[in-house]
Amino acid sequence: MSKVYSKIESIAGNVIIVKADGVRYGDLAQITTSFGTSLAEVIKLDNELVSLQVFAGSRGISTGDEVRFLGKSMQISYSESLLGRVFNGSGEPRDKGPRLSENLISIGGPSFNPAKRIIPRNMVRTGIPMIDLFNTLVESQKLPIFSISGEPYNEVLARIALQAEVDLIILGGMGLKYDDYLYFKETLEDGGALSRSILFIHTAADPVVESLMVPDISLAVAEKFALDGRKVLVLLTDMTNFADAMKEIAITQEQVPSNRGYPGDLYSQLASRYEKAVDIEGAGSITILAVTTMPGDDVTHPVPDNTGYITEGQYYLRNGRIEPFGSLSRLKQQVNDRTREDHRPLMDGMIKIYAAYKEALEKQSMGFQMTEWDEKLIKYGELFEKEMMDLTVNIPLEEALDNGWKILSACFEKEETGLRSSLIEKFWPADSLKSKAGQE
C-alpha cells in the first residue's frame, strides 16, 4: 500500500487533488517536494479524485511532486517517553529528542458513552482566589478563558499548570507566538513541571493546517493517560486560532459559510473536542482549560459564542484580572459544599457587596454625594481587588477564605455583611485589619 503517484491534478489553497485508488477517507499521505516532505490528510473522495489537505501548506508544491499514501489515518505514539517532550502539530519532535514510533494510537476517537459518565466530584486547586474561592475549577470540567489579545492569558495558564494538583499536563498551542512557546517551556522547566508535561506546539510561523491537529493529538494522548488512571489537565491556547484555521480550510474548499465566514459545523467541531473532558469511573480524568480570544472583545463573535454553549462556564480575563461578573463555573456547586462551611456564603456574600461597590463607584464618578456606606464600599472594593483579584496573589483556598473575613471585618460591622450570624461568630477575626488601620 505504498503506491506512489506523481501527478497532482490541482492545487488550491492548502488542498491538492490527485487521482488515486484504494484510498480511504481520513488516510494520510506523504508528499515529497523540493523543500522536503510533508504529511497530508484525505478530506474528500470523489471517484478516483482524492483531495488532500497538506499540513505544510501547498506553497512550492509542483504538479509533478510525489504523493505516497500511507494506508493509515493520523496516529501518535503513546508511552511514558512522551513526558517532558515537545512536538509539533504533526506529532514530530520539536525538541532535540528522538522520534517516537512505538505503540501508535489513533486520534479523534469515538465519543464517550453518556451513560458511563459520572457526576464530577473533585475540586482542582489552583491557588488563584478568583478561581478557587469564587468559581471553583472541577476535575473533568471544560472551561474557556475568554479574553482579548494582550491579556496575560498564557501567564494564567502557565500558573495553573504549575499549581494544579494533577498528574500530567498537556499543553496544546495553536498559532502560538514563538516567544510564548519559549515562555511556557521555561516556566514549566523552572517550576520543575516539564517532566510531567507534554507539549504539542504549533507556532504562528508554522503552516496553518498543522494547528488543526493540535487539539486532537493532545486530547487523544490525554484520553489514553486518563484511561491509565492519570489526572490530566489539558491546556489549549488559543482555540480562536484553531477555529480560524478551520475557517480558512472551509473557504478554500468552497464550503458555504454560515456566520462571519465560519463553517456551519463550527459548533460540532468545537464540541467534539471539548466533550473529551471526562471523569472516568475507576480511572483518571481529563480537565480542559482553553484560551479563547474574543476578536474586538465581542462575546457574541461565533467562536466565543459557540464555545459558551459547549463549555461548563467561562473565566473572563479583563484588565489582567479574572472578572467576578460573567465568569462562571457551572460545576462549582458540585464541590464547594464540601470544602469549608463558609465557602458558599462567603462566595455569594462577597460578590454581592462587590456589586454594590461597583454601583458606589459609578455614583462617585457621576459626582453624586457619597454616604458613609458608600465610603465603606469603596474601601472594600479596593481591598477586594488587591487581595483577591490581583493575579499575583497565590494562596490556598483556606487562606483565601480567611482573607475574605479579614477584608470584611476591615470594612464593615458584622451585621452589614448580610452573612448568617452563626458563621460570623465562628469566622470573624478577633484582631481585624480595621483596628490596625485605625492605628495607622
Partner 1 sequence: MSTTGKVVAINGNMVSVKADGNVIMNEVGYILNGDKRLKAEVIRIRGEVAQLQVFEQTRGIGVGDEVNFSGEMLAVELGPGLLGQIYDGLQNPLPELAEKTGFFLERGVYLEALSRTKQWSFKPSVSIGDKVNAGDYLGVVPEGPYEHKVMVPFNLREEYIVKAVVSEGSYTVSEKIVEAEDSRGGKKSFTMFFEWPVKRPITLYEERLKPVEPMVSKVRLMDTFFPVAKGGTYCIPGPFGAGKTVLQQITSRHAEVDIVIIAACGERAGEVVETLKEFPELIDPKTGKSLMERTIIISNTSSMPVASREASVYTAVTLGEYYRQMGLDVLLLADSTSRWAQAMREMSGRLEEIPGEEAFPAYLESSIAAFYERAGIVRLNDGNIGSVTIGGTVSPAGGNFEEPVTQATLKVVGAFHGLSRERSDARKYPAIHPTESWSKYNGIMPVDHVKYAHDILARSGEIEAMMKVVGEEGTSLQDYIIFQKGEFLDVVYFQQNSFDPVDAAVTPERQKKVFAQILLLLATELNFGDKEEARRWFYQMRQKYLDYNGAEWRSDSFKNYEKEIADILQAKSLGTDKRAASILEDLKK
Can you give the binding site for partner 1, defined by CB under 8 A?
21-26, 44-48, 73, 108-120, 227, 255-259, 263-265, 267-268, 271-272, 274-276, 280, 299-302, 305-306, 308-310, 312-313, 325-326, 328, 330-331
| Sign of the four-CA dihedral 19, 21, 24, 29 | negative
Q: Which is nearer to partner 1, 302 or 381 (CB)?
A: 302
Q: Which is nearer to partner 1, 25 or 178 (CB)?
A: 25
C-alpha distances in Å from residue 143, one per residue of 131, 139, 246, 286: 11, 11, 21, 12
Q: Which is nearer to partner 1, 204 or 310 (CB)?
A: 310
Strand ranges, E, within 130-204: 137-138, 142-147, 168-176, 197-203
Q: Cell digits for 190? A: 523552572
Q: Cell digits for 302? A: 461565533
Q: Which is nearer to partner 1, 316 or 412 (CB)?
A: 316
For residues 209 and 207, give the distance between their C-alpha atoms in angstroms, rounded to a whole number: 6
Q: Which is nearer to partner 1, 237 or 306 (CB)?
A: 306
Write down the least CB distance from residue 173 to partner 1, Å: 23
For residues 133 and 138, give the distance between their C-alpha atoms in angstroms, rounded to a whole number: 12
For residues 99 and 24, give the distance between their C-alpha atoms in angstroms, rounded to a whole number: 26
Q: Which is nearer to partner 1, 160 or 271 (CB)?
A: 271
- Scan for cell 502539530, then name that residue: 89
Residue 373's Cβ-side half-sphere holds a number of Cα atoms within 13 Å equal to 9
Q: Which is nearer to partner 1, 256 or 430 (CB)?
A: 256
In this structure, are residues 196 and 224 in contact, taking their beta carbons and an 8 Å threshold? no
Q: Which is nearer to partner 1, 5 or 181 (CB)?
A: 5
Write down the least CB distance from residue 244 to partner 1, Å: 17
What amino acid occupies position 126?
T
Q: Cell digits for 289? A: 482549560
Write down the least CB distance from residue 190 to partner 1, Å: 35
For residues 210 and 265, give the distance between their C-alpha atoms in angstroms, rounded to a whole number: 19
DSSP state of 195: G
Write down the least CB distance from residue 353 to partner 1, Å: 14
Q: Cell digits for 75? A: 496516529
